Structure 1
């Protein structure tokens, strides 16, 4: 799951984030409580507003829990012990998927 961040956008609502990940907002709220790396701001109404950094961290959490099948505790440990390595690998995988999609498009045009 790779989310395209809008350039210049500083905050994303929980609804935007939930829709981008195709999950319920309640799951995003749950992950916010469970994972220390998420630090969304809250507006005057108390609504969570996620920064682009929060969205990247949510991508990592989503990848570990939903795509790789980690338990929550396993994902927490993995993020704590090897966040940099996980992020680097995640970025590489996202770039490779993008290249694959572009190559598939080119192949289909021929």
Structure 2
């Protein structure tokens, strides 16, 4: 059995790292933190925000609702309050389907390259 490098997950992410994950400004991260009560970063002695993986997951959910589905902030807040579990489940399904789509597209590209090289 080949050795597999263990994946190390960080305990905390800085606001810059979170903003980079979503390709947005840090000001948007701070704004969403104020608007959505599911985001609760730890603040160190200097006042720097440190986000947990759970916070990052919640940002993914908010990003999906606001940026990808085009919901308003009020609409996203209401959806998260009214049926948080259904929203999380739907988001997970969409994420898995996107992963499958990208994997299939990669396979299609590699198969297309193989066919071209045989000619």
TM-score, length basis structure 1: 0.91
Partner of 1:51: 52
The structure with the largest alpha-carbon Rg is 2
1:32-64 Cα offsets, whole Å, 9 max, x none, are: 011101000001110110000000101111111
Partner of 1:29: 30
CA distance in 2, matches of 1:68, 1:45: 36
**Alignment size in residue pairs:** 105
Residue ranges of structure 2 left out of the alignment (5+ in a row): 1-6, 112-119
Partner of 1:40: 41
Detail structure 1 runs of 4+ shifted over 4 Å in the superposition: none
CA distance in 1, matches of 2:80, 2:13: 22
Partner of 1:70: 71
Q: Label 1:86 to 1:7 Cα distance change in 2 as closer, same or farther (>3 A).
A: farther
CA distance in 2, matches of 1:85, 1:50: 24
Displacement after TM superposition at 1:7 (Å): 3.8
Aligned-CA RMSD value: 1.1
Answer 1 or 2: higher relative contact order, Cα 8 Å, separation at least 6.
1
